[in-house]
Amino acid sequence: MRVAIRRLAVPTVVLLAAGCAAIKPETPREAQEKRIQATRPTYNLAGYPPAVREGYIDGCETAKHSQYARKDAKRMSDDAQYAMGWNDGFGICGKK
């Protein structure tokens, strides 16, 4: 029994080590470029003004800690609809 476990343990450790070695960490610049090129998530927010929709998506993605997380501070202070959408999205998605 012990011999069978040892025979399985060695290849398993070798495969795990090889898999870890192949992962290359992403640089901040690569991550930023990836975010710019990716499409934003979509939500069914038909009937809401564009500013509310954009705020909701930003707030929800921030609550979910996704790669699309963002909070536009200038827009939060200048655009009440964006701020309302952001707060709603953050609050609703943060509860899930």
* Tens-digit pLDDT profile for residues 51-78: 999 999 999 999 998 888 889 899 999 9
pLDDT of residue 54: 93
- The structural domains of the chain, with segments of one domain joined by +, span 2-94
**Residue range 34-58: mean pLDDT, rounded:** 85
- Model confidence pTM above 0.85: no
Taking the C-alpha atoms of residue 55 and residue 72, their distance in angstroms, rounded to an integer, is: 9
Task: Determine which helix (DSSP H) or strand (DSSP E) holds 60, and give its type and residue range.
Answer: helix 50-63
Taking the C-alpha atoms of residue 90 and residue 26, their distance in angstroms, rounded to an integer, is: 27
